[in-house]
Structure 1
Amino acid sequence: MPYVNIKVTDLGVTRQQKAELIARVTQALQDVLDKDPASTFVVIDEVNTDNWGSGGEQVSERRKRLGL
């Protein structure tokens, strides 16, 4: 029973993109490890950019600094 947890920032990931991630990860586990898709779980967590850091800086602050 594989369990995959994908974490992304909450910046514009669409419902369709999440559905595609779930489908492709499930297919990869079936193809590579011969896992049954019915018992494969994929969870996508969307994290606010205030709660996501890179290079010692919040992503929200980095985006402001870069004008994004």
Structure 2
Amino acid sequence: MPYVNIKITKEGATAEQKAELISGVTQLLRDVLNKNPATTVVVIDEVETDNWGIGGETVTVLRQQAALKQQDQ
């Protein structure tokens, strides 16, 4: 039984996009590994940007910095 865990930032996807991810991952596992879709589990975890860090900074801070850089251009 395959188990796939997708982690995205909380504002990252609509319900329709999440459904497409679940369907697409399930189909990919069927096509590539011949896994049974009926036993394939896909979980999408939505993480607050304050709880996701890259390079020692939260995603919240990184996005604020990116927005400021765009304003300066």
Distance in 2, Cα, partners of 1:3 & 1:67: 36
> Which of 1 and 2 has greater Rg?
2
Aligned residues: 68
Q: Runs of 5+ in structure 1 lacking a partner?
A: none
Please state how far the C-alpha of 1:12 moved relative to its aligned partner.
3.6
- Which aligned segments of 4 or more residues in structure 1 are displaced greater than 3 angstroms? none
Deviations 1:4-47 (A, max 9, x none): 00000112410011000000000000011111100000000000
Q: Percent identity?
A: 65
Counterparts of 1:1-68 in structure 2, within 5 Å, are 1-67=1-67
- TM-score normalised by length of structure 2: 0.87
Task: Identify, as 1 or 2, the structure richer in helix.
Answer: 2
Q: Runs of 5+ in structure 2 lacking a partner?
A: 69-73
